[in-house]
Amino acid sequence: MPKKYLGQNFLFDPSILHRIVEAADITHNDTVVEIGPGLGTLTKILAGVAKKVIAIELDLELYTKLKEEIEKIKSSHPFTHLPIYPFNIELIHGDALKYPYEELEPFKVVANIPYYITTPIIFRLIETRKNLKSMTLTIQKEVAQRIVRKPNTKDYGVLSIAVQYYGKPELKFIIPKGAFRPVPKVDSAVIHIEIYEKPKVIVADEKLFFRIVKTAFAQRRKTLSNSLKPISKDIKEILINAGIEPIRRAETLSIEEFARLSDLVKNAG
């Protein structure tokens, strides 16, 4: 029985699974981390093209089942000395939110993410991005749209800026909810995020930059001179100095404008 609380909605359609792997642009030199391999449908295709697949599964029952299946395939395989499928799969029983990604060699993430941890996983990966090259994630369509949105659109917000600051997201394709078993409530989308070597903009104080972004969007209906009052009593003047009209709202600001504002707030002490 699939465990709903672990976000277990499985994909079986080979054409969809192959499109995900294609979107991830995996070559035989790549180490891939898969979060939540579940029944291993995606894992096996990934292992067929990657150098190595590290698959992290939290559910002991699914982990054990997949482990046994892989061991069985291994025992009937003639090429035991080659680092190819199925010998290139490292299955780990654990929580993907706690995995030490920063200790890995350069890697790409490919995952059909359990819904209940979509944003925590993205933030965990960003936080530990030292060797992360890209993420190809199957997530709720609505969250994918928020991630790729540009200024002056309804869904543009903290998540769009947080991801676009560190990488270049692209919405690849939609997966209708009917493709999953069990069928979830909403459609999904596959999103590919190339991680930049350096953030999109350079700011003097990253913590302050994100505090300003969060504060501005916490009251997104308000003008910036009102919503950013908790940041500085002189915010109106600083906005003008940054070339940003104080009557504008958070959703109209580009990342570059938030960066400029953040540096001027920092300078103003």
x/- mask, ligand SAM, residues 12-51, rule CB under 6 A, reads -----------------------xxxxx-xx---------
Place of tokens 């913590």: 207
Q: Which is nearer to ligand SAM, 10 or 123 (CB)?
A: 10
Which one among 68, 95, 205, 245 touches ligand SAM, defined by CB under 6 A? 95
Which one among 21, 26, 45, 58 touches ligand SAM, defined by CB under 6 A? 58
Phi, psi of 157 (to 5 degrees): -170, -155
* Total residues in contact with ligand SAM, by rule CB under 6 A: 24
For residue 90, the cross-strand partners are 54
Q: Is the dihedral of CA 229, 233, 236, 239 positive or negative?
A: negative
x/- mask, ligand SAM, residues 100-119, rule CB under 6 A, reads ------------x-x--x--
Q: Which is nearer to ligand SAM, 95 or 245 (CB)?
A: 95
Segment interacting with ligand SAM, rule: CB under 6 A, options 25-33, 54-62, 201-209, 237-245: 54-62
Binding site for ligand SAM (CB under 6 A): 6-11, 35-39, 41-42, 56-59, 62, 95-97, 112, 114, 117
